[in-house]
Amino acid sequence: MVDQSRNAAADADMAEQLCPKETIETGISSCPNGKRKADDELERPIKRSTPASESQEPTISEAGTEQNGELYGNEDKPLSKNQLKRLRRKQQWEEYKQDRRAKRKDKRHERQARKREEKEAKIAEAKAAGVDPATVLPQKEPWKYRPVPVSFIIDCDFEQYMREQELVSLSSQLVRSYAMNRKAKYQAGLHFSSWKGKLKERFETVLKNAHHNWKNVSFHEGNFKEAAKQAHAQMTGPDGGEIIDLIRPSEGRQDISPDNDDGGTNPMTEVEAEDEGVDQSVVYLTSESPYTLDRLEANTSYVIGGIVDKNREKGLCYKRAKEFKVRTAKLPIGEYMAMQSRFVLTTNQVVEIMAKWLECGNWGQAFLEVIPKRKGGTLKGDASNGSVGKDRNDEEENDGAQEGTQEGEPLAED
């Protein structure tokens, strides 16, 4: 009994140290562990959202509204910590938007000044050597609209697999795709299928309908197969364009060949029998395909999956191509390039690579001119070329597109 009394007294002393006596008497919790609550605090009614009065002006954001000092979502529920973090990041992004534009403008002016200095140096050297400066300066060919009967279709029917920021990234890549195809030596028909949802809404609101001024571009609410039908009618029509030698069909030349580089019997690289009813005029570009694209051919549509998903989803484009019964192929990157990173390209890079091939007819040269240096690639069998690609500035984006194109690559080849 004595031991029990001593233990009870010790427990009381410990409780007094953790929660002083005045705390228990006053009902105000000051315990360091925070587990005890005052009776009046436990009985306090839960704060609920109330509609704001006309005199109040709550802060309204895309994520929710501020009411009585707390942020609430569209469903009258307080925002979670992750939602608040995303909201703060978005607000911070908007605050520094003008600063980022100013930095890009300064960099652009620096590049222009550097080019002027290089040009003036070449002219001075030519004059010193007694040579006509016009002979040492590269003559830029004036731009001319030269359509060819080849179509690039960007399949935008992957919205459900992308987050909001990834949709922003995709919209910037679509802007670049148009710009690259527009200024190419030969212009393929550019089509956007499944043009609807948040992507279309972004172009109509944030980008202020700038796509309405795009020339020789078609937007289709239907899927890529419906867009391919209209593209085929355009290519075979009177305004389809010139059939240049590179895409001219001839006997003995293949546009797609089975991928059999390893010489083994990998079932994914064996020649597969084409299913009945496969549309031969449509080729869906996907890395899952057992075939490699050797060349582009006239009156053919090449479909690019418009998706940015950090490589979360696998084989979406290949499954979609099989579902719609069209041919599949992948770009011959592995045959020409030794890469230090993945063989995954952005949507606009795939468009530019094929546009470059129409100009030079050489996949290796097209890869060299388009793939950025950060990929760390070299031409196979020609290590003297060094790193591939131009020193591209990822911040060079259309001013109408929101900055924030993610470094995560879309599965343009899936």
Q: Angle formed by the axes of helices 197-204 and 164-182, to 10°? A: 70
Amino acid identity of residue 136, one-letter, is V
Strand partners, 151: 189, 301
Going by the DSSP 8-state scheme, the letter that residue 342 receives in this structure is: -
Three-state DSSP class for residue 218: strand
CA distance 329 to 259: 9
What's the gap between Cα 266 and its chain centre?
32
Helix H or strand E encompassing 357: helix 347-360
CA distance 189 to 241: 9
Q: Which residues contact 70 (CB under 8 A, 6 or more apart)?
A: 47, 49, 78
Q: Which residues contact 273 (CB under 8 A, 6 or more apart)?
A: none
Q: Is 414 a catalytic residue?
A: no
Going by the DSSP 8-state scheme, the letter that residue 263 receives in this structure is: -
CA distance 61 to 73: 10
Strands 65-67 and 70-72: antiparallel
3-state secondary structure 363-411: HHHHHHHHCCHHHCCEECCEHHHCCCCCCCCCCCCCCCCCCCCCCCCEC
Helix H or strand E encompassing 66: strand 65-67
CA distance 308 to 303: 16
Alpha helix locations (H) across 80-150? 81-95, 97-128, 133-136
CA distance 377 to 379: 7
Set 11, 309, 394, 414: catalytic member: 309
Asked whether 304 and 355 are in contact (CB, 8 A), the reply is no
Active site residues: 309
